[in-house]
Amino acid sequence: MTLNELTIAEAGAALASRKISAMELAAAHNDAIAALNPRLNAFITPTPEVALEHAKAADARIAAGSAGPLTGIPLAIKDLFCTAGTRTTAASKILEPFIPPYESTVTQQLLDAGAVFLGKANLDEFAMGSSNITSGYGPVENPWKRAGSDAKLVPGGSSGGSAAAVAARLALGATGTDTGGSIRQPASFTGLAGIKPTYGRCSRFGVIAFASSLDQAGPMARTVEDCAILLQAMSGFDPKDSTSAERAVPDFRAAVAKGVKGLRIGIPAEYRMDGMSAEISALWEKGILLLREQGAEIVDISLPHTKYGLPVYYIVAPAEASSNLARYDGVRFGARVDGEDLIDMYERTRAAGFGAEVKRRIMIGTYVLSAGYYDAYYLRAQKIRNLILRDFTEAFSKVDAILTPTAPSAAFGLGEKMDDPVTMYLNDVFTVPASLAGVPAMSVPTGLSAEGLPLGMQVIGKHFDEETVFAVSAALERGAGFSALPTLRAE
């Protein structure tokens, strides 16, 4: 086995027992990035020197006997997390020159745990997208291929660069962020595990804002256990984020081994939508069977407001985005295009700096917040959001976790679903309800499509009960025994 194929748990053990060094591990990943990133475009900014510097410090820490579970582990950092001294773009041209003077809390905690940062991973511009094609720095190619075809597929989005990097063995794990499915859908498209924790579990300080009431950071990795190890380091109360939860962080890694015996797993009738493909339907049945075989009890439940999830999301998220993105005006940071006067400068700066999808969402958001339409759209959406939360609260009085598919299809081709933005938005149909309710949800690779592409199942848990999500996800992972590999990967 090469260094690039290790899991985080395996690499941690090998580093601790001095079988490998953090420098060797970082160098192997730097080499893989140099070889494959020109094709995959998974990283906007590889930082090989930073990686070696972090690795050197990690080796010193291991030698001193003060290593943690992430000391020396090479990670990709979604380019939405501010990293002090390393350019952070949010995949937008408007932030092309931006070098943050401070570190996000999540990345600071990873650094404190000894992690090695390989570079800043590509994403949809400001995390708005489901295919990574809206990046101002070019699309990411999914390392997976359909059987017998070399057609380029999308890695999903918005954390598509993180997903491609981990799937192609360019990193052992990655940070992602999830506003409506941006960790879970790309994890499903690339055969990875990825968790969006409970809203409030990970600090949002230093994570460039898209929709503040929905944005949550989370890990992506090749196993459920690796996600648990990463989330452990990323979580915790932060006084710098007013929505950070003042709660103790449980032992997530221990939860992975708990099993599902006696757990009640809900199957929501409303997720069985018209037109669901036979393939996804069969995958869901397989997931149910795998959990039942391990002692879980399957319970039919109802989440009656599911069909309003997407319309509510596509009002709330753009509304918050239009407000958050008002700060990009070419005055204090970011790119500027000069104009005849101040207003002209603002207009030219924003016209040149934002891509088409970001402009579309700013316009939708500004419209739904405007005086004449606020009650009809934004306020109404917030009320329905409460009903969606209530659906989950009621369901969780009967069950311990909920099992659904992650996405309506496997990864699609670059250039497909691009004609109409609504077709692209439908990718989030199974993931947005959990985002709106703020509950934790994880995607686990569970099977392959007829064309040989990975498909994920989603496990949704109660607020702050990531432990049960990890337990159920690990049971699915054990049962499914997913071992397929992407075509493009570091050997």
Partner 1 sequence: VEPLSGGAQMAMRLRDDVVTDGGIQELVLANAPDRAGVFFSVPKVVE
Position 338 contacts partner 1 (CB under 8 A):
yes
Position 327 contacts partner 1 (CB under 8 A):
no
Position 344 contacts partner 1 (CB under 8 A):
yes
Q: Are 46 and 33 within 8 A, CB to CB?
A: yes
State the minimum distance, in angstroms, from the CB of residue 200 to partner 1. 5
Position 383 contacts partner 1 (CB under 8 A):
yes
Q: Which two tokens stand for residue 420?
A: 């109409």
What is the amino acid identity at position 325? L
Position 394 contacts partner 1 (CB under 8 A):
no
Burial 405-434 (b: 16+ CB within 10 A, else e): bbbbbbbbebeebeeebeebbbbbbbbbbb
Residues 400-439 close enough to bind partner 1 by CB under 8 A: 435-438
Of 274, 340, 420, 491, the one binding partner 1 (CB under 8 A) is: 340
Query: Sign of the C-alpha dihedral, residues 121, 127, 130, 132?
Result: negative
- Shorter beta-carbon distance to partner 1: residue 351 or 485: 351
- Does residue 473 have an active-site annotation? no
- Shorter beta-carbon distance to partner 1: residue 189 or 392: 392
- Shorter beta-carbon distance to partner 1: residue 198 or 404: 198
Query: Sign of the C-alpha dihedral, residues 289, 389, 178, 366?
Result: positive
Could you give the CA distance from residue 104 to residue 108 in angstroms, rounded to a whole number?
Answer: 6
Could you give the CA distance from residue 106 to residue 99 in angstroms, rounded to a whole number?
Answer: 17
Asked whether the bond before 235 is cis by omega within 30 degrees of 0, the reply is: no
Residue 409 in 3-state DSSP?
coil
Position 200 contacts partner 1 (CB under 8 A):
yes
- Does residue 78 have an active-site annotation? yes
Of 341, 419, 420, 491, the one binding partner 1 (CB under 8 A) is: 341
The H or E element spanning position 78 is strand 74-78
Write down the catalytic residue from 159, 162, 182, 443: 182
Of 49, 246, 274, 419, the one binding partner 1 (CB under 8 A) is: 246
- Does residue 182 have an active-site annotation? yes
Question: Measured at the alpha carbon of residue 468, what is the angle toward residues 465 and 471, in degrees to the nearest 5?
Answer: 150
State the minimum distance, in angstroms, from the CB of residue 443 to partner 1. 19
State the minimum distance, in angstroms, from the CB of residue 216 to partner 1. 8
- Shorter beta-carbon distance to partner 1: residue 285 or 344: 344
Write down the catalytic residue from 92, 130, 135, 158: 158
- Shorter beta-carbon distance to partner 1: residue 136 or 334: 334
Position 335 contacts partner 1 (CB under 8 A):
yes
- Shorter beta-carbon distance to partner 1: residue 101 or 262: 101
State the minimum distance, in angstroms, from the CB of residue 219 to partner 1. 19
Q: Are strands 193-196 and 441-448 parallel, antiparallel or unpaired?
A: antiparallel
State the minimum distance, in angstroms, from the CB of residue 259 to partner 1. 27
Position 463 contacts partner 1 (CB under 8 A):
yes
Secondary structure tally for the chain: helices H, strands E: 16, 11
Of 38, 101, 148, 275, the one binding partner 1 (CB under 8 A) is: 101
- Shorter beta-carbon distance to partner 1: residue 155 or 334: 334
Q: Are 455 and 434 within 8 A, CB to CB?
A: no
- Shorter beta-carbon distance to partner 1: residue 123 or 432: 432
Could you give the CA distance from residue 448 to residue 322 in angstroms, rounded to a whole number?
Answer: 38
Position 214 contacts partner 1 (CB under 8 A):
yes
The closest of 130, 142, 148 to 451, measured between CA atoms, is 148
Q: Name 184's Cβ contacts closer than 8 Å, sequence gap at least 6.
A: 178, 194, 195, 196, 406, 407, 431, 441, 442, 443, 456, 458
Q: Are 161 and 122 within 8 A, CB to CB?
A: yes
Position 386 contacts partner 1 (CB under 8 A):
yes
What is the per-residue binding string for partner 1 in 145-174, x denoting contact by CB under 8 A? ------------------------------
Catalytic residue annotation = 78, 158, 182
Site residues, partner 1 (CB under 8 A): 97-99, 101-102, 198-200, 212-214, 216, 239, 242-243, 245-246, 330-336, 338-342, 344-345, 379, 382-387, 389, 435-438, 463-464
